[in-house]
Structure 1
Amino acid sequence: MGTHVIKMPDIGEGIAEVELSVWHVKVGDMVVEDQVLADVMTDKAMVDIPSPVHGKVIALGGQPGEVMAVGSVLISIEVEGAGNVKASAQPAPVKEAPVAAPTVETAVESKPVAAAAPKAAVCQGPMVAREADERPLASPAVRKHALDLGIQLRLVRGTGPAGRILHDDLEAYLAQGQSNASAPVAAAYAQRHDEEQIPVIGMRRKIAQRMQDATQRAAHFSYVEEIDVTAVEELRAHLNEKHGATRGKLTLLPFLVRAMVVALRDFPQMNARYDDEAQVITRPGAVHVGVATQSAVGLMVPVVRHAEARSLWDNAAEIARLATAARNGKASRDELSGSTITLTSLGALGGIVSTPVLNLPEVAIVGVNKIVERPMVIKGQIVIRKMMNLSSSFDHRVVDGMDAALFIQAIRGLLEQPATLFVD
């Protein structure tokens, strides 16, 4: 038997160090070739580190949240044959790291929605003896499912690889615990005194750093405008009815992207990147629209490149493709960089007004709020219209307030008269 040492790879782009975000294995696990061992975080994206060999994990080279230099020892695997290091050169094992880093969902788990006793009593299946601070291995989706069901994951036996808890394990736990359904209702009001500390690491750390950097460096100001989207919504419904089966369904987002592209012809200063250290503003001719997308690990901004050269359906397909890649953690570094202006939307949760934070070094971000039906006065008559606010932010170091208002007004005019979206 020998030892195969895997070092932190050179991910490119001049990156000298990366953050170890998540371990997918632990000491003692058997791994196979191409199995993902860990996720590491660069300034731009999460990167999977696969195993090049079959073998048994004998040492982990760091803890989640630790910043590691390229070329440092990441993991040691016992393999058949000589391996790639001499026995005397094998690194000393380090303390085993947690199997998975805490995510946004784990923060939600600790909220006192109800005491642990009642729902655990309702669903007590065969329990697993875990330490109170031991984090079970489970995906974000399973954690959310467990939270909805009121199940404490540390009590559930996992049947997946390395003891990972699956959705089926939650159902089995429920099915075997129905006999305890008569738990007293009073337990739902029991006091809780537990707390959980959640390290800010991985994508969450990068998001925090970028948001803090953006608010400290840029002179933010926001502008909110109300838009009547009745006509564009009617056009969207008509196009979906006529072409949806063959070309795909359209959301409002590709119309917004088109409106931004057309409006930027008259306001190119919004489609810009500001290097505040070099004191240089770059205005590309291309429009690369970043589309803010919520994923399990936090907010990501995949980029629709050359939106100015795409049709409605092309933009719609690309937005859908990139959103799926981002949510599944499959978006590449290139797909997450290079935007010149960003579009952000909370969809049905969009509220009335928001104050989006700039995606530096960009100087403009267009924020979409939800569509609501409201009575409006048109030509002296009260009619019901579909209304939506755009809440957008700009970098006042580069963009004047009047120009920002005129830019959003141009988008408003295009959406309220949607035929003008396609008039060159």
Structure 2
Amino acid sequence: MAEHTFKLPDIGEGIAEAELSDWLVKVGDVVREDDVICEVTTDKATVEIPAAVSGKVTWLGGKAGEVMAIGSDLIRIETDETVEIVAQPEPEVATAPEPEAKAEAAPAPVEPAKPAAPRRPAPSPAIPLARNASGRPLAAPSVRGRARELGIDLRQLRGTGPAGRILHEDLDDFLAHGPDTRGGGGLVRRTGTEEKRVTGVRRKIAERMALAKQRIPHFSIIEEVEVEALEELRAKLNQRFGADRGKLTMLPFLLRALSEAVVDHPEINAHYDDEAGVITRFEALHCGIATQTDTGLMVPVLAHTEARTLWDTAREIKRLSDAARERRIGPESLSGSTLTVTSLGPLGALATTPIINHPEVAIVGVNKMVVRPVWDGQAFVPRRMMNLSCSFDHRVVDGYVAAEFVAKVKSLLETPAMLFMEWRDE
């Protein structure tokens, strides 16, 4: 047997340290090569660190929430390179040898259907749902991997293992019986409390939001936009091209409008270095797309939005958001945005007051679409309406300039043919 010491690897250019946000193993666990052993967080992203060898964990180099230098000792694994740790094969069912053929064979008896295994005993309601430092359900890496393969959301399960850990048997029980809704009848008092350390992505979000609110004097403009014509155009494009090119949502049209609007209002597509007192305006629109994930809000960046077609924009948004939600997005895709768009989708309320993504100077919020009665000069008619909630840095953007910018975006969305006009002088 030999003990292998695995160091915290280099996880990005220029990154000297990372926060150890969550351990997925403990001392004594047996891991396979490439099992995820921990998660570390930098200013850019959360990265899963796999085991370099198979073996038994003998030592952990830090606790969740600690900041570690790149290259420092992370974990020790006792391993025997001559022994492979593999999944146990399914047991083979013994069968009797076939009897010799007879003139008249009696029909084989029909075995009764095997009854389903009874549901496992329900955990005590007094035991709170077990969560690790990042808020994820407690489970071994092998259980997490199997749940991903089966498409099971571990948040639906209450584990029956030690400290509420989810076991393979809990997955089997879920597959056989579905979610466990047993909880007893009647109303009871809830008296439990839960303390949760702010680590990983959540801590980075907290730091960035506090920085933005402390240093940026926000003001917001909320404008109502009629999207009836745009929605009719979108439906026709999806009907005509959706099968070959993919479906279009509202977002590619909005990004197209923003790409046009910032040409006339370069003050909006900018960064403000308040320490150096320098404003940097960008010709390219690198649009941040605020994306909700299991670990918190992430902002993948759609580079050169101004040079993309509607379908290219839609495909890239999907690719980036899927990569963020599946925790396989790289730091290079989470930096460099010049203007951010945030949307709560169908949950989006009537209006919001989004917080600017520092050091940007503006953010565009998309609220939910609703049908409202609109007066057309003769009668009230139903129209699909949507509010835009835009926040601006008042140190850099004057109220009049912000109002002009919002009016430009509104005009382009309400007259979508203008999004495709090559009207600018050469």
**TM class by smaller structure:** 0.7 to 0.9
Equivalence for 1:8: 8
Contact residue 362 and residue 392 of structure 2 kept, 8 A: yes
1:126 Cα offset (Å): 3.2
Output the TM-score relative to the length of structure 1. Answer: 0.81
1:144 Cα offset (Å): 3.1
Letter in 2 for 1:170: F
User: Given the alignment, which residue of 146, 154, 174 partners 1:170?
Assistant: 174
Which secondary structure does the structure 2 equivalent of 1:269 belong to?
A: coil
Structure 2 residue runs without a partner (length 5+): 83-117, 132-136
Letter in 1 for 2:196: I
Tell me the distance in 2 between the aligned counterparts of 1:49 and 1:131: 34
Which secondary structure does the structure 2 equivalent of 1:233 belong to?
A: helix
Contact residue 143 and residue 153 of structure 1 kept, 8 A: no
Equivalence for 2:67: 67
Tell me the distance in 1 between the aligned counterparts of 2:296 and 2:40: 15
Tell me the distance in 2 between the aligned counterparts of 1:250 and 1:270: 26
1:272 aligns to 2:270 (yes or no): yes
Letter in 1 for 2:284: A
Which secondary structure does the structure 2 equivalent of 1:212 belong to?
A: helix
Contact residue 158 and residue 169 of structure 1 kept, 8 A: no
Count of residue pairs the alignment pairs up: 370
Contact residue 125 and residue 173 of structure 1 kept, 8 A: no
Tell me the distance in 2 between the aligned counterparts of 1:302 and 1:16: 22
Q: What do you get for the CA RMSD once the two structures are aligned? A: 2.6
Partner deviation per Cα, 1:310-332 (whole Å, 9 max, x = no partner):
00000001011111111111111
1:300 aligns to 2:311 (yes or no): no
Tell me the distance in 1 between the aligned counterparts of 2:243 and 2:344: 26
Tell me the distance in 1 between the aligned counterparts of 2:79 and 2:54: 7
Tell me the distance in 2 between the aligned counterparts of 1:142 and 1:153: 16
1:144 aligns to 2:155 (yes or no): yes
1:35 Cα offset (Å): 2.1
Tell me the distance in 2 between the aligned counterparts of 1:173 and 1:420: 55
Tell me the distance in 1 between the aligned counterparts of 2:30 and 2:159: 27
Equivalence for 2:102: none
Contact residue 55 and residue 77 of structure 1 kept, 8 A: yes
1:381 Cα offset (Å): 2.3
User: Given the alignment, which residue of 386, 398, 401 partners 1:400?
Assistant: 398
Contact residue 157 and residue 169 of structure 1 kept, 8 A: no
User: Given the alignment, which residue of 194, 207, 214 partners 1:216?
Assistant: 214
Tell me the distance in 1 between the aligned counterparts of 2:215 and 2:43: 18
Which secondary structure does the structure 2 equivalent of 1:268 belong to?
A: coil
Q: Hey, which of these two has a bigger chunk of helix by percent? A: 1
Tell me the distance in 2 between the aligned counterparts of 1:72 and 1:131: 40
1:290 Cα offset (Å): 0.5
1:33 Cα offset (Å): 2.3
Tell me the distance in 2 between the aligned counterparts of 1:44 and 1:298: 13
1:72 Cα offset (Å): 2.1
Change (3 A) 1:5 1:352: same
Q: Counterparts of 1:232-243 in structure 2 under 5 Å?
A: 232-243=230-241
Tell me the distance in 1 between the aligned counterparts of 2:127 and 2:18: 30
Letter in 2 for 1:330: R
1:54 Cα offset (Å): 2.0
Equivalence for 1:20: 20
Output the TM-score relative to the length of structure 2. Answer: 0.81
1:11 Cα offset (Å): 2.5
1:352 Cα offset (Å): 0.5
Sequence identity (%):
53
Partner deviation per Cα, 1:165-215 (whole Å, 9 max, x = no partner):
54x44344769x89xx7x8632xx111211111111111111111100110
Structure 1 residue runs without a partner (length 5+): 83-122
1:10 Cα offset (Å): 2.8
1:47 Cα offset (Å): 1.2
1:53 aligns to 2:48 (yes or no): no
Change (3 A) 1:344 1:130: closer
